[in-house]
Amino acid sequence: MPHWTHVPGDTHAADHARLVPVKALVPHRFERFVPADHPALRHGLALNDAGFFWECHEILEAVWMVAPQGGRDRILLRACIQIANANLKSKMQRVAAATRLDAEAIALLDEVQARGPAEEAESFAAHFDANGLSGVLRRSRGGSPAGARQPIGLAIFAMT
């Protein structure tokens, strides 16, 4: 884990030294699917749940960039990235941005579910409860009376 959380405009630079080795685990391309147990993917999800939202985005984006185009895993990764971004925006008290990102994530999760079961049994999408995460997001909309919401975890939805 990084030594500190990075919040753009609020903290010093990100702890890139802790992110570079994780990004190095990402291959140049995933052929048919993103393996649910890939260490960079798992680390990215854990970063989010530990409150390292910007860092989670960095790692998951590296995985997303090499995921198969148009596949369920790529769509699901994008939803997770949007949730990490919404968590960060909420922490920064940018409620409207967090709400917009949550709505984008819900739409992406709906798309994953509409495609039906994943073809690859070992894929990220086959081992992730997109329906459960979508339900949590839908229930969290509106957040507290002040409009902020609690961070949404991701690793709990990654079934093993």
Give the model's pLDDT for residue 119: 85
1-48 pLDDT tens trace: 999 999 998 877 999 999 999 999 999 999 999 999 999 999 999 999
In a domain, 72, yes or no: yes
62-72 pLDDT tens trace: 999 999 999 99
In a domain, 9, yes or no: no
pTM for the whole thing?
0.94
User: Which residue's structure tokens are 């854990």?
Assistant: 46
In a domain, 71, yes or no: yes
Give how many domains the chain has, as a whole number. Answer: 1
In a domain, 119, yes or no: yes
110 pLDDT band (50/70/90 cuts)? very high
Q: Which domain holds residue 80?
A: 32-157
CA angle 10, 89, 147 (to 5 degrees): 120
CA angle 84, 16, 104 (to 5 degrees): 15
In a domain, 134, yes or no: yes
CATH assignment of the domain containing 94: 1.10.3450.10
